[in-house]
Amino acid sequence: MPSTIVLKRRINSIRSTRQITKAMELVSASKLRRAQASAQRSRPYQELAYELLVRLSVLPEAETHPMFAKKKIKNRLYLIITSNSGLAGAYNANIHKELVNCLKRDQQEKVMSKVISVGSKGAQFVRRISGVELVAVYQPFGDNPTAEKIQPVLNSLLTNFKDGQSEAIELIYTSFVSTINQKVIDLPLLPVIRPTNDNSSYTNISTFEPDVETVIDQVSTRLIEAQLWQAVLESLASEHAMRMVATKNATDNANELIDDYTLELNTARQAAITQELAEITGGSEALNV
């Protein structure tokens, strides 16, 4: 059994750690409320943007547009959204697992894989994978992302696709479902996927001004940006939720450890007192003989 001094040091150390994890839990809970509200508020816009992309994709003029035209895939680019720090549960690990599954698929299809990472955790993981090119690394967009912050990422994706460096781009991020439930999404971003079911409901579209080609060229970029913007908001809410849960579990574990070590400390103290009493009693009896 460890000495009482060692047990006291362990208890003090765990209490210090508990204060840190509790503070992180409260901070994450506060940030989660704002991030969750932002993600839920913009979902209708993202869904409408995706519907508009589908409507544009069925137009005859879209078949030859770079963002809609299908080509034989030789290079596929992945944009993954991760964090810079840990203590977020399986937030980063889930993204890494989905990326590995996609890379295995590319290997079977003999497709070269490239990755753009938002967050250093994703970049560190990709660097350890042989045969995968890490194109660029971007810092996370913070707790208050703006359209200006995601613009460089969007420009990199569009440039890579339009220049023919990659024939397909996929976005891997974590969608926020609830505080205890988050889902990793693998979203094909470019080229825009045409609907495979009955698309008669998409063909009746109003007249375009000034013309269809101009609308497709200018609007499609903004609609792709809406998909990326929503992914950033969903990822931010998911990260805060998973970090809040992880730090809460760490705090609860610290409380359990403190209770266990306190019980062990009291047992050690009682054993020491019992031993001292026995020694005093034994010494007294020896003097009386």
Considering the domain boundaries, does residue 124 fall inside one? yes
Integer angstrom CA distances of residue 158 from 79, 93, 165, 189? 12, 27, 10, 10
Q: How many whole angstroms from its chain centre is CA 162? A: 27
Q: What is the DSSP string of 147-180?
A: HHHHHHHHHHHHHHHHTTS-SEEEEEEEEEEETT
Considering the domain boundaries, does residue 18 fall inside one? no
* pLDDT tens by residue, the chain, 289 residues: 567 888 889 999 999 999 999 998 899 898 898 998 988 998 898 888 888 877 777 777 777 777 787 788 899 999 999 998 878 888 999 999 999 999 999 999 999 999 999 989 999 999 999 889 999 999 888 888 888 888 999 999 988 888 889 989 999 999 999 888 899 999 988 887 766 554 445 555 566 677 677 777 778 888 888 889 999 999 999 999 999 999 999 999 999 999 998 998 888 888 778 877 777 777 777 666 5
Give the C-alpha separation, 153 to 81, whole Å: 11
Considering the domain boundaries, does residue 282 fall inside one? no
Considering the domain boundaries, does residue 55 fall inside one? yes
Instruction: Print the domain residue range for 217.
Output: 23-245
pLDDT for res 196: 59
CATH of the domain at 95: 3.40.1380.10
Considering the domain boundaries, does residue 82 fall inside one? yes
Q: Which 3 state secondary structure label does DSSP give 264?
A: helix
Cis peptide before 191 (omega within 30 of 0): yes
Considering the domain boundaries, does residue 100 fall inside one? yes
Give the C-alpha separation, 275 to 259, whole Å: 24
pLDDT for res 254: 92
pLDDT for res 75: 92
pTM of the model: 0.83
H helices of the chain, in order, are 4-57, 91-109, 120-127, 147-162, 200-203, 212-288
The total number of structural domains in the chain stands at 1
Considering the domain boundaries, does residue 198 fall inside one? yes
pLDDT for res 97: 94
Give the C-alpha separation, 108 to 163, whole Å: 25
pLDDT for res 85: 83
pLDDT for res 69: 75
Give the C-alpha separation, 207 to 158, whole Å: 27
pLDDT for res 71: 81
Give the C-alpha separation, 283 to 280, whole Å: 5
